[in-house]
């Protein structure tokens, strides 16, 4: 992966606590899985920034290589991959996501 | 792109020969599946590691031939 792409990705995941690589935007998600994660974060009132991977093919492919995770969306918290839609949904249903994100929820 | 349900099961069984597997073709288009897989190989691993094992088992088909796969991994006590 091109070092510039890697730097861009690292900048994004280290800039904000919670960063979502998704297809589309929070207002206009372009994929059901991305939309589900946005809805969960919105419901939890967890502030997050996002990247629309559809706008940049190098990011869309680079993020998969970066995390060795083949799908989009990808949610990062404090620079670490938490998971894709399945894992976020499971954690939310188990109450684990609320616990994990408690530092940034309600403040 | 698409993949037959039987083919998908065959590929996964190569890496998880003893697992119990339940695959559902969600949209009837060979492209959107849900996979429930129960294996002792997941025991003690984080969800991310468990899901990465499943993605690795798919031999790079995830995102290519296989458009959408929702995964549910279950430990086997």
Per-residue pLDDT tens digits for A42-67: 999 999 999 999 999 999 999 999 99
How far is the alpha carbon of A3 from chain B, nearest alpha carbon, in Å? 23
Per-residue pLDDT tens digits for B2-60: 889 999 999 999 999 999 999 999 988 888 999 999 999 999 999 999 999 999 999 88
A13 to chain B, any CB pair closer than 8 A? The answer is no
Residues 6+ apart with CB under 8 A from B2: B29, B30, B31, B65, B67
- Alpha carbon separation from B41 to A82, A87, A103, B50 (Å, rounded): 21, 18, 33, 8
Instruction: Please state the ipTM of this predicted complex.
Output: 0.87
Cβ–Cβ gap A70/B55 under 8 Å: yes
Question: Would the pLDDT of A26 be above 70?
Answer: yes
């Amino acid at each position: 992966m091109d070092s510039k792409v890697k730097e861009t990705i690292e900048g994004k995941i280290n800039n904000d606590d919670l960063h979502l690589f998704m297809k589309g935007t929070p207002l206009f998600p372009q994929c059901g899985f991305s939309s589900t994660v946005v809805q969960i974060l919105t419901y939890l009132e967890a502030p997050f920034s996002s990247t629309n991977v559809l706008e940049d093919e190098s990011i869309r492919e680079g993020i998969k290589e970066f995390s060795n995770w083949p799908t989009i969306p990808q949610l990062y918290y404090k620079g670490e991959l938490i998971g894709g839609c399945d894992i976020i949904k499971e954690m939310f249903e188990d109450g684990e996501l609320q616990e994990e994100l408690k530092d940034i929820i309600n403040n | 792109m698409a993949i037959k349900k039987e083919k998908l099961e065959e590929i996964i069984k190569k890496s998880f020969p003893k697992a119990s597997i339940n695959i559902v073709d969600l949209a009837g288009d060979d492209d959107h599946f849900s996979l429930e897989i129960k294996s002792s190989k997941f025991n003690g691993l984080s969800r991310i590691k468990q899901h990465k094992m499943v993605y690795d088992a798919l031999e790079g088909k995830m995102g290519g031939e296989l458009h959408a796969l929702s995964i549910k991994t279950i430990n086997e006590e």
